[in-house]
Amino acid sequence: MSANRLIYLPLGGAGEIGMNCYVYGYGPEDKERLIVVDLGVTFPDMDGTPGVDLILPDITWLEERRDRIEAIFITHAHEDHIGALGHLWPKLKAPVYARRFTALLGRLKLEENGHPATPLTVVGARPEVVTAGPFKVQFVPIAHSIPESSALVIDTPAGRIVHTGDFKLDATPLVGEGWDPDAFAAIAAEAPVRALMCDSTNVFSPHPGRSESTLRDPIAELIKGAKGMVVATTFASNLARLKTLADAAQASGRSICLLGRAMKKMVTAAQEAGVLKDFPSTLAPEDAVNVPRANLMLIATGSQGERRAATAQLSRGKYLGMQLKEGDMFLFSSRTIPGNERDVLKIMNAFSEMGVDVVDESNGRYHVSGHANRPDLETVHGILKPAVLIPMHGEHRHLREHAKIAKAGGIRSEVATNGMMIDLTDGAPEVAEYIETGRMYLDGSVMIGAMDGVVRDRIRMALNGHAMVTVILDEADAPLGDAWVEIMGLPQTGKSGGSLAEKIEIELTDFLDRADTRLLRDDDKLDEAIRRVVRQVAMEEIGKKPEMTVVVSRLATE
Amino acid sequence: MSANRLIYLPLGGAGEIGMNCYVYGYGPEDKERLIVVDLGVTFPDMDGTPGVDLILPDITWLEERRDRIEAIFITHAHEDHIGALGHLWPKLKAPVYARRFTALLGRLKLEENGHPATPLTVVGARPEVVTAGPFKVQFVPIAHSIPESSALVIDTPAGRIVHTGDFKLDATPLVGEGWDPDAFAAIAAEAPVRALMCDSTNVFSPHPGRSESTLRDPIAELIKGAKGMVVATTFASNLARLKTLADAAQASGRSICLLGRAMKKMVTAAQEAGVLKDFPSTLAPEDAVNVPRANLMLIATGSQGERRAATAQLSRGKYLGMQLKEGDMFLFSSRTIPGNERDVLKIMNAFSEMGVDVVDESNGRYHVSGHANRPDLETVHGILKPAVLIPMHGEHRHLREHAKIAKAGGIRSEVATNGMMIDLTDGAPEVAEYIETGRMYLDGSVMIGAMDGVVRDRIRMALNGHAMVTVILDEADAPLGDAWVEIMGLPQTGKSGGSLAEKIEIELTDFLDRADTRLLRDDDKLDEAIRRVVRQVAMEEIGKKPEMTVVVSRLATE
């Protein structure tokens, strides 16, 4: 009995924003029954993950304990909470629970990845309860920027846990359920909250968050004042914002056209799930081109500057017959995520060159965040009065700040980053174990480990260029012909004024001609010697040491 | 006479922030005598310029007209105005003019690049005049974030030009000369301003800029409240900020230690030039390690997250004996330039993991910009009353917005981006010509053109990986042995579960065995056929099309 423990283990989202994946366990040590909350992704970038398509949590620890997993719960349908479901479910094969709209999008992901028969159960809001081994789980509606976002109440033999998911304290979110302090007060009144796992994304925002509904008038006013065509972009999943934008368009006599696959998919799913009501009817792009510019508003994907999304395509010229021009307006109703600034600015400048007026959220009138700010977090702490607070969903600095706030409010707290298993059984939270964890990459059609060295080699080639050397040795281990060098991503011409490749070839041929047979017979030594020559010539000629591939072909004695 | 024209040609800085380089000309068409204002650089990034060391303006147009260049003027010593001097001066070989401190740093750059004998003349402030062909040029002290920043008054037979350089309206900048509206009013009173070339960097900042002196109390208060060691970072060239930080340290009984080569170089040069007075004495790192943490403040380079700078090194562990720990404070007294966010956040999180309290400028208390905001720009327009305003130093969106403001104030304006030659002779400014221009890269020790394809190939290797194929054909054009494949930056294992390289080798060998002699004899066709096989196998196995190098070695008939 006293040997049973309650554990919490983040595998993604704790020490980063994105890629949420959390595990709870209850039972005897190393025999805990487990549940998983969220299977999210994060997105690659040229700096650290060039060529990668998607980044997923490394769930090896879970895979090895597959028989102990009771269920997977998805809090809401944002990519950083549900995006890995299709890719990772086959490794876990546990039943999946989500509310209707989330389940609908989850089902699409599973189908896209070839798992149409996955057990995915639609769950109603609290008081409905899912029993999963020792856990009793309820979905509690909470406001965020996508409908049916939910906190989870997780009852365990060691007490009640509240897992907030992503949330904000918005009583009037336009789409989705509003923040209801009484509902949360009731949760704490029903049973004391042993631990609160709480969203930390906006912990550094000092003022109370603003409601989605505060955008309605400013956006309507902005669009009414526009003379030409208006285009707006936001996250496709931000259905409340789509509604705000569409309503404003309609109020100013504009027809609406949705641009981008994700946008149409999201609106369709939301309408099907009944979570997006009274959305104005939309025109197909082929019909929209015939509408006068002053009567048209496009809502486009690509608010983060994604190269292939509708916004970037419009910035490069015509897209599905649409083309922006002098006098049009483009509204970024979105915040640029750190790291995407350059891509977004590039697009803004391209629009500027077309004579398009670009409006962004810098004055705070056309965008609000979907996450709880610092005072909002304090409000939630105060309502739920948890014995322990574990900050979640944030970079280390967010988690640390959130833990500080909790402690200042008299709540025990611990910063737990990915891989830190926390024992919550009783008393103070304690680190029970450090799990080896990390990231997996979906690269083209295969999964690779972040530490496999594949991406490291790509980065090295990008920084240093590449030289390839081919040497042929005859049956007697003597060089047959000259060394051959091909370079890629390196200057053609070095300091001596001639071809870099030829200069290396000459030095290599010279070296090989003078090399003794013992060296020429030793694969490893020859390889190393060739590399040394290439490096030296390259440093002299171009001041760089390229990555290298050396192929020594030995003609077999027949 | 009437055949003479006055032209303006930006070669850098117009359509971007950074890499400033502007040309003025006066004389008969295509025979204008020329002056160059600033030779700046901009910095590479992994997204667009991996492996590049420095980005410089392409001055081919100037090189081809070297005999027409009268002089080069440097407005101030920031890298984006002076950074290319050492690299580009040898291509122009015109006399260089700058004020004392700027000249001192310029001399260092020229020496570093092996041009110690460059004619570099120190010029005093207006009313001192430099005559350069048809131009009479005066340096007018103006406030910015580095001492001796100057606007230029450029008198020509076609009228007076004011070229602001970078500036802000700071009457109390602590270091350097304050903004003096009377001095600028006198310039306009003396002779009407034909054209104002005006800094546009902060045109989107709606409120009047704040003085450097407003930071003194908040920073002093922050440092006084710190318990452990304090480290602050800012641009090394921001001498006023260094002074503010050092004064605050001293006031709270802390010794100061400067970390980073650039920091020490800048302070030494400023002291030598007499533009940095009463700077507290500093400790060498080897002495600083013996000072109690509560009595020490480090001022470190690397505010933009540069990997090799002192701040990044501290975030990775020990640096010159210094190591941050729980209870220390790190202050970013700087703004993160778009594109550097990820690097800076990485460092902030590393400090957070050490238990260091990180303070940044997000609340506006610990940093002010060095550029004029929108109302400040309007003030300058009003004082100088130019006939024409050409916005400079900004991305397209900044230039466009600035031109709009000018026009709204009744001033003729034209957006001129890099390569657009503007005729300012009389009446409205007109585009006279489009010059082919762009960027050069310093890559290792050589200069390459931005359009050479070298960097494009690096990016492609980073995105797609690289496969190298070696095939040997004998004297009769028959394959000798099997094809050999080496991959780099690609998954080792494909969908079929085996080695990707081996799988490609098998398919290639099979293909070569079946290929007819005509194909095997044709270099181009064989190359293309091999690439097709590799692409196809790679797509099947890993869903990617790698970059490729194909080497077909033909054994010569002896």
For residues B187 and B219, membership in a common domain is answered with no
DSSP string, B105-127: HHHHHHHHTT-TT--EEE--BTT
Q: Could you say which of A444, A454, A495 has the minimum Cβ distance to residue B543?
A: A444
Query: Domain ends where: A399, A418, A449?
Result: A449
Mutating which of A336, A445, A505, A523 best tests the B interface, going by the most B Cβ atoms within 10 A?
Answer: A445
B349 neighbourhood in chain A, CB within 8 Å: 15, 395-397
For residues B223 and B190, membership in a common domain is answered with no
* Interface subset of B 34-63, CB within 8 angstroms of A: 45-48, 50-51
In a domain, B244, yes or no: yes
Q: Does residue A373 sit in helix, strand or coil?
A: strand
In a domain, B460, yes or no: no
Q: Chain B closest CA to A135's CA: distance in Å? A: 33
For residues A434 and A310, membership in a common domain is answered with no
**Cis peptide leading into residue B10 (ω within 30°):** no
Contact (CB<8Å) A465/B458:
yes
In a domain, B111, yes or no: yes
Contact B138, B128 (CB under 8 A): yes
Given a cut of 90, whether residue B117 has pLDDT beyond it is no
Query: Would you call A318 an interface residue with chain B, using a CB distance cutoff of 8 Å?
Result: no
For residues A170 and A221, membership in a common domain is answered with no
Side chain identity at B78, as an amino acid letter?
H
Query: Would you call A364 an interface residue with chain B, using a CB distance cutoff of 8 Å?
Result: no
For residue B427, give every residue at least 6 positions away whose Cβ sits within 8 Å of its Cβ, in sequence order, or none.
none
For residue B182, give every residue at least 6 positions away whose Cβ sits within 8 Å of its Cβ, in sequence order, or none.
none
Query: Would you call A551 an interface residue with chain B, using a CB distance cutoff of 8 Å?
Result: yes
What band does B325 get if pLDDT is binned at 50, 70 and 90? very high
Assembly ipTM: 0.94
Find the closest chain B residue to A445 by CA distance.
B543
For residues B496 and B414, membership in a common domain is answered with no
Rounded Cα gap, residues B256 and B302, in angstroms: 17
Per the DSSP assignment, residues forming a β-bridge with B301 are: none
**CATH code of the domain in which A432 resides:** 3.60.15.10
What does each C-alpha distance from A70 to A35, A96, A149 come to in angstroms?
Answer: 6, 9, 22
Q: How many residues does chain A have?
A: 558
* Interface subset of A 472-491, CB within 8 angstroms of B: 472, 480-481, 484, 486, 488-491
Find the closest chain B residue to A556 by CA distance.
B481
Q: Could you say which of A343, A443, A488 has the minimum Cβ distance to residue B457?
A: A488
Rounded Cα gap, residues A437 and A449, in angstroms: 11
Q: Chain B closest CA to A511's CA: distance in Å? A: 20
Mutating which of B17, B43, B45, B46 best tests the A interface, going by the most A Cβ atoms within 10 A?
Answer: B46
For residues B374 and B303, membership in a common domain is answered with no
Q: Which of A201, A168, A214, A126 is nearest to A401 (CA)?
A: A201
Cα A264 to the center of its chain, rounded Å: 21
Query: Would you call B395 an interface residue with chain A, using a CB distance cutoff of 8 Å?
Result: yes
Q: What is the mean pLDDT of residues B472-483?
A: 92
Q: Which of A88, A81, A79, A190 is nearest to A138 (CA)?
A: A190
- Tokens linked to A356: 């398009």
User: What does DSSP assign to residue A295?
Assistant: G
A553 neighbourhood in chain B, CB within 8 Å: 470, 472, 481, 484, 553
Find the closest chain A residue to B474 by CA distance.
A555
B341 neighbourhood in chain A, CB within 8 Å: 338-339, 341
For residues A259 and A346, membership in a common domain is answered with yes
B544 neighbourhood in chain A, CB within 8 Å: 51, 443-445
Contact A85, A96 (CB under 8 A): yes
Residue B517 burial class via C-beta count within 10 angstroms: exposed 0-12, middle 13-18, buried 19 and up = exposed
**CATH code of the domain in which B261 resides:** 3.40.50.10710
In a domain, B454, yes or no: no
For residues B422 and B488, membership in a common domain is answered with no
What band does B197 get if pLDDT is binned at 50, 70 and 90? very high
In a domain, B440, yes or no: yes
Contact (CB<8Å) A490/B454:
yes
The tens digit of pLDDT for each residue in B129-144 reads: 999 999 999 999 999 9
Given a cut of 80, whether residue B173 has pLDDT beyond it is yes
Contact (CB<8Å) A488/B204:
no
Contact B381, B396 (CB under 8 A): no
In a domain, B458, yes or no: no
The tens digit of pLDDT for each residue in B394-417 reads: 999 999 999 999 999 999 999 999
Residue A116 burial class via C-beta count within 10 angstroms: exposed 0-12, middle 13-18, buried 19 and up = exposed
Q: Does residue B274 sit in helix, strand or coil?
A: coil
Query: Domain ends where: B449, B474, B509?
Result: B449
Contact (CB<8Å) A47/B463:
no
pLDDT of residue B363: 84
Kind and range of the H or E run holding B84: none
The DSSP bridge pattern shows strands B420-423 and B4-12 to be antiparallel
Given a cut of 60, whether residue B387 has pLDDT beyond it is yes
B486 neighbourhood in chain A, CB within 8 Å: 468, 549, 551
B400 neighbourhood in chain A, CB within 8 Å: 352
For residues A175 and A96, membership in a common domain is answered with yes
Query: Would you call A500 an interface residue with chain B, using a CB distance cutoff of 8 Å?
Result: no
The total number of structural domains in chain B stands at: 3
Q: Does residue A458 sit in helix, strand or coil?
A: helix
- How many A-B residue pairs are in contact by the CB < 8 A criterion? 207
B498 neighbourhood in chain A, CB within 8 Å: none
**Cis peptide leading into residue B28 (ω within 30°):** no
Contact B346, B307 (CB under 8 A): no
Query: Domain ends where: B324, B341, B363?
Result: B363
Find the closest chain B residue to A549 by CA distance.
B486
**CATH code of the domain in which A549 resides:** 3.10.20.580
- Tokens linked to B553: 């070695």
Given a cut of 70, whether residue B557 has pLDDT beyond it is no
Contact (CB<8Å) A339/B338:
no
In a domain, A455, yes or no: no
For residues B418 and B274, membership in a common domain is answered with no
The three-state DSSP-derived secondary structure of A96-131 is EEECHHHHHHHHHHHHHCCCCCCCEEECCECCCCEE
Output the tens digit of pLDDT for each of chain A's 558 residues: 458 999 999 999 999 999 999 999 999 999 999 999 999 999 999 999 999 999 999 999 999 999 999 999 999 999 999 999 999 999 999 999 999 999 999 999 999 999 988 899 999 999 999 999 999 999 999 999 999 999 999 999 999 999 999 999 999 998 889 999 999 999 999 999 999 999 999 999 999 999 999 999 999 999 999 999 999 999 999 999 999 999 999 999 999 999 999 999 999 999 999 999 899 999 999 999 999 999 999 999 999 999 999 999 999 999 999 999 999 999 999 999 988 999 999 999 999 999 999 999 888 899 999 999 999 999 999 999 999 999 999 999 999 999 999 999 999 999 999 999 999 998 889 999 999 999 999 999 999 999 999 999 999 999 999 999 999 999 899 999 899 999 999 999 999 999 999 999 999 999 999 999 999 999 999 999 999 999 999 999 999 999 999 999 998 754
Rounded Cα gap, residues B387 and B411, in angstroms: 6
For residues B186 and B54, membership in a common domain is answered with yes
pLDDT of residue A557: 55
Q: Chain B closest CA to A275's CA: distance in Å? A: 36
In a domain, A458, yes or no: no
Rounded Cα gap, residues B377 and A517, in angstroms: 75
Rounded Cα gap, residues A464 and A479, in angstroms: 28
- Tokens linked to B83: 């950074």
Q: Could you say which of A352, A448, A490 has the minimum Cβ distance to residue B396?
A: A352
For residues A246 and A115, membership in a common domain is answered with no
Phi first, then psi: what are they for A555, rounded to 5°? -75, 125
pLDDT of residue A362: 85
pLDDT of residue A361: 87
pLDDT of residue A426: 87
Structural domain range at position B536: 465-554
A397 neighbourhood in chain B, CB within 8 Å: 348-349, 351-352, 358
Given a cut of 70, whether residue B110 has pLDDT beyond it is yes
